[in-house]
Chain A
Amino acid sequence: GIQVEQSPPDLILQEGANSTLRCNFSDSVNNLQWFHQNPWGQLINLFYIPSGTKQNGRLSATTVATERYSLLYISSSQTTDSGVYFCAVALPAGGGNKLTFGTGTQLKVEL
């Protein structure tokens, strides 16, 4: 099956710092999404971004489908950004938009 690798696995930031999270995938995909799992376990969909660039407030994401990677940028980080960030992808074949998840980047933002 498709492999999804995220880096770095862990990240500690001071409040106000910027960061870039990376997602590499091993096959062509037609669906790529970024999720934030907050400390209470809730999974929030941040972006649906199979290609191109999107921005939502302090967060932005870029997917270069031809090179099989995606980046999530967090600017001016806040303590509420803490949690785990997951990248998930789905293959064009097979139907159902079945997502395969990476193992995540654990982010901690400190005061």
Chain B
Amino acid sequence: NAGVTQTPKFRVLKTGQSMTLLCAQDMNHEYMYWYRQDPGMGLRLIHYSVGEGTTAKGEVPDGYNVSRLKKQNFLLGLESAAPSQTSVYFCASSGIESRAFFGQGTRLTVV
């Protein structure tokens, strides 16, 4: 049972490049989330999904897009990366009214 798996684990982008972060969960959870973690600021919600085919904005959605075409996958896209998007990105999933489980994180550097 792998839980929540994120790929890649590390990535360096040049300003203006695009990329997609992949998240997969095998717990049949309805809800999935993307957070970013910056020093001294805890985790902040970027986008989330309450089920297959749905997405919604979180606290800091600007510059990101998401898609949930399959229940087990949640993709986070950066169309034109900026240095301000240098961060550690975490994907999480949870069932209805239950605990959240996190992936191992993706460390992204935009130069």
Contacts and interface: CB of A to CB of B under 8 A. Distances in A.
A43 B90 contact: yes
Interface residues of B, number: 27
A78 B44 CA distance: 29
Interface residues of A, number: 22
Given A86-B42, A96-B48, A45 B100 contact: yes
Contact of B42 (A1, A45, A48, A104): A104
Interface in A59-111: 86, 88, 95-104
Nearest to A42: B104
Interface stretch (B11-19, B61-69, B77-85, B91-99): B91-99
A33 B33 CA distance: 15
Contacts of A42: 102, 104-105
A45 B31 contact: no
Q: Which of A30, A43, A45 has the most CB of B within 10 A?
A: A43
A41 interface: yes
Contact of B96 (A43, A45, A97): A97
B50 interface: yes
B43 interface: yes
A33 B99 contact: yes
A19 interface: no
Interface string B10-33: 000000000000000000000101
Query: In the complex, which of the residues B31, B33, B94 has the most CB atoms of chain A within 10 Å of its own CB atom?
Result: B94
Contact of A103 (B42, B58, B59, B99): B42
Given A41-B88, A43-B90, A103-B40, A98 B45 contact: yes
13 contacts: A35-B102, A42-B104, A42-B105, A45-B100, A48-B99, A88-B100, A96-B48, A97-B94, A97-B97, A97-B98, A98-B58, A101-B43, A102-B42
